[in-house]
């Protein structure tokens, strides 16, 4: 299974002219958003959002 994943990553990286090490294939937008948000916040930092934000973003931030 991992072989198919890595082949897909290599193909996607080539398509977008990116590095394989920096290319990821995720299940959906919510998973990607969660990964980015969780890697951005450290300590007491804050992110301001409005009431029109994507609900998954609101949920992730309220859990942190």
pLDDT of residue 51: 82
What is the total count of domains within the chain?
1
Range of the domain at 9: 2-63
pLDDT at 54: 83
Find how far residue 5's CA is from the centre of its chain.
17
Write the CB contacts of 64 (distance below 8 Å, at least 6 apart in sequence): 37, 38, 41
Residues 6+ apart with CB under 8 A from 10: 20
Say what the pLDDT of residue 45 is.
77
pLDDT in tens, the chain (64 residues): 778 999 999 999 999 999 999 998 999 988 988 888 888 877 777 788 888 888 888 888 888 7
Distances, alpha carbon 9 to alpha carbons 3, 19, 30, in Å: 10, 10, 19
pTM for the model stands at 0.60
Question: pLDDT at position 9, please?
Answer: 95
């Amino acid at each position: 299974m991992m072989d198919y994943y890595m082949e897909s990553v290599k193909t996607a990286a080539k398509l977008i002219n990116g590095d394989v090490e920096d290319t990821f294939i995720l299940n959906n937008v919510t998973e990607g958003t969660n990964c980015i948000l969780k890697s951005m916040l450290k300590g007491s930092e804050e992110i301001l959002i409005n009431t029109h934000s994507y609900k998954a973003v609101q949920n992730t931030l309220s859990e942190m």
